[in-house]
Structure 1
């Protein structure tokens, strides 16, 4: 009997710990806390409207500082992501991503990549370039403005540094997005 009681108490303890974990991860039932909606039937096919709006503001604010940026990539389908993943592995070229289709915020319309565009139209990825002559790297100026607008910058990552990458995750993990959670659309 004692063995059965101990087993029941162990089960109860594990159950409580698991429920606490779910609550802490944001699976509470409070409608006020929910900043996403569940939609498992459709995947985005373009940038989220808030991300697109912030990209336009970023272009304006960097232009005010004499910096022109070019968005080199934004929404990317799973198939496009897989093709990029294959570079340097199954296809010629150097490795450009470590994420397969469905593993990138690009696949959910929540990320963009940028580069600097010179007056002559050339596009560069030089993180030390100071085209506006203010003694600061244009690249890092763009990153700071982007962060002020709510973007996370891949250059801040502790492991792999992805300097062209900007994303807005709206508090959602890739796992959340893969299971159908989506940031709410304005309106």
Structure 2
């Protein structure tokens, strides 16, 4: 008799947990995809450009918000189309798709983007690339060069504590921020 009560209790807990998970899934599931950079990311991007320029390091934002279709096209590069593989993220698997990421390059000349991580154009004895990264981190970005699996050196993102899975389920930064 006691084992039966324990079994019923555990079954009840399991049903309640499953119902709660279903509620959370339904709560966020039908939310529209973003169509632009998140306002806080946009502001940090603009601040990054200004702060790096003020120390003699002009930068170019080479990518920011990216639609799922654009992401799928980039994913195919080096797989079914010419070029090198540049991402392991399919559409919906990148923070770019949710307006939470940017990519940058240095601008040693006005029309010449550079991804040279050793370049010191402001001649202060430090890598301009790493100076940009330091400022970006100060603004709240995470750097792709710190990723453990795939180093993405031009990549900066603000995830606001949300995983790709959270974002795919419809959670957005406004769910975790007091905006």
Structure 1 runs (4+) greater than 3 angstroms displaced = 8-16
What 5-or-longer segments of structure 1 have no aligned partner? 28-36
What 5-or-longer segments of structure 2 have no aligned partner? none
Give distance in 1, aligned partners of 2:38 and 2:178. Answer: 10
- Contact 1:68–1:116 (CA under 8 A) maintained in structure 2: yes
Q: Which residue of 2 aligns with 1:164?
A: 154
Q: Which residue of 2 aligns with 1:98?
A: 88
More helix per residue: 1 or 2? 2
Q: How many residues align structurally?
A: 171
Give how far 1:64 is off: 1.2
1:84 matches 2:49: no
Give how far 1:71 is off: 0.2
Give distance in 2, aligned partners of 1:59 and 1:157. Answer: 23
Say which SS state the counterpart of residue 118 (structure 1) adopts.
strand
Q: CA RMSD in A?
A: 2.5
Instruction: Note the alpha carbon deviations across 1:128-178, whole angstroms, 9 max, x for none.
Output: 111111111110110010000000110111221110000011111111111
Q: Which residue of 2 aligns with 1:7?
A: 7
Q: Which residue of 2 aligns with 1:74?
A: 64
Give distance in 1, aligned partners of 2:8 and 2:82. Answer: 58
Q: Pick the aligned partner of 2:51 from 61, 71, 83.
A: 61
Give how far 1:9 is off: 5.4
Say which SS state the counterpart of residue 181 (structure 1) adopts.
coil
Give how far 1:121 is off: 2.3
